[in-house]
Chains A and B, each alone.
Chain A
Amino acid sequence: MRNRLLPTHIFAILMMAVSIFLLITARGLHQALAQNEDSSTSPIVAFRNAFTLVAITLIVLCIGLIALKKWAIPGFLVMLCLGGITLAWGIYWLAGELKNEPTPLKIVVGFSVLIYTLLISGILFLTNAQVLALFHRKEKPKEEMPDILDQF
């Protein structure tokens, strides 16, 4: 059984799940802040806000992708590149913290490979000639074809 969904729609479904996960994580951080009285300057606040912002941006981009809007693909590419840069900074910081602990450091390396693989696959997918052709072809109205054929 084959489906005829556009590949970009499958990508949007996946990204929607990622944004739901980020929103739930942000909510968990918000609850943790509520239990802690002196937490106004805590880094948890920054993480909560960042997760919420990224999740909302992803949801907007997903809706754009499902509605076949042209701006959605560059938007996703920017988000994926920014994610890669932020992750590089995070890994550098974590590697400094875990200098004397080889096992967690190796696990961090494994997870970094996983996340970079997903980011690079996302970029490769969204810049694929076949995906872009399908995405842009669906935008055009089909009524033009019979007129062109009638002229011959």
Chain B
Amino acid sequence: MFRHRLNLIQIFGIMTLGIALSLLLVAWALNGEAYRSEDRIDRDSLWGRNGFIIISLLLAVPAVGLLIRKKWAVTFLIVLFWVAIFGCIGLFVLAFFNTSRTDVEGIALLAGFFILILAFFLAGILYLNNAWVLESFPGNGGEKEGLADVLDQ
């Protein structure tokens, strides 16, 4: 089977950078929507665009940090994921109370989507706190160059 020797943390960095890029593309779409009409600017689309750009930058900076194996990037992303989890719970509660109790399908879809998003963030936190993954950082046991010297003694 094909194998490569990228670090586990760098794979996560590539994924986070891709997510940031996709959010930037959505911001680009919203920018077009905001200025579509010549006589007025759509304020909601502008707010959306700015929000997506900020989230994208918040993801892109630690993603680059992970690619160059900086430890602060892990802490930054873990904090960001916890904030996102609490934000998601708040949004879910709001959406739940705005959905009709008789709309079982709507509630089920909402719950499914919530489970998916929550699982992404929790898996991200578990991954970034994982002992095997953190070995990828220099000085965390991942660098085996010193072993040969020890054996020579």
Residues in chain A within 8 A of chain B (CB atoms): 1-7, 10-11, 13-14, 16-18, 20-21, 23-25, 27-28, 31-32, 73-74, 102-104, 106-107, 109-111, 113-114, 116-118, 120-121, 124-125, 127-132, 134
Contacts and interface: CB of A to CB of B under 8 A. Distances in A.
A10 B123 CA distance: 6
Contacts of B127: 7, 10
B71 interface: no
B100 to A, nearest CB: 15
Given A18-B116, A118-B15, A128-B3, A24 B22 contact: no
A28 B132 contact: no
Q: What's the interface size class on B, roughly?
A: 35 or more
Interface stretch (B29-37, B79-87, B90-98, B145-153): B29-37
Interface of B: 1-8, 11-12, 14-15, 18-19, 21-26, 28-30, 32-33, 36, 104-105, 108-109, 111-113, 115-116, 118-120, 122-123, 126-127, 129-134, 136
A31 B18 contact: no
A20 B115 contact: yes
A4 to B, nearest CB: 5
Interface of A is mostly: helix
Given A113-B22, A121-B14, A121-B15, A13 B123 contact: yes
B30 to A, nearest CB: 8
14 contacts: A2-B131, A17-B116, A17-B118, A17-B119, A24-B108, A24-B111, A106-B25, A106-B26, A110-B25, A110-B28, A114-B19, A117-B15, A127-B2, A128-B5
B108 A28 contact: yes
B46 to A, nearest CB: 14
Contacts of B25: 106-107, 109-110, 113
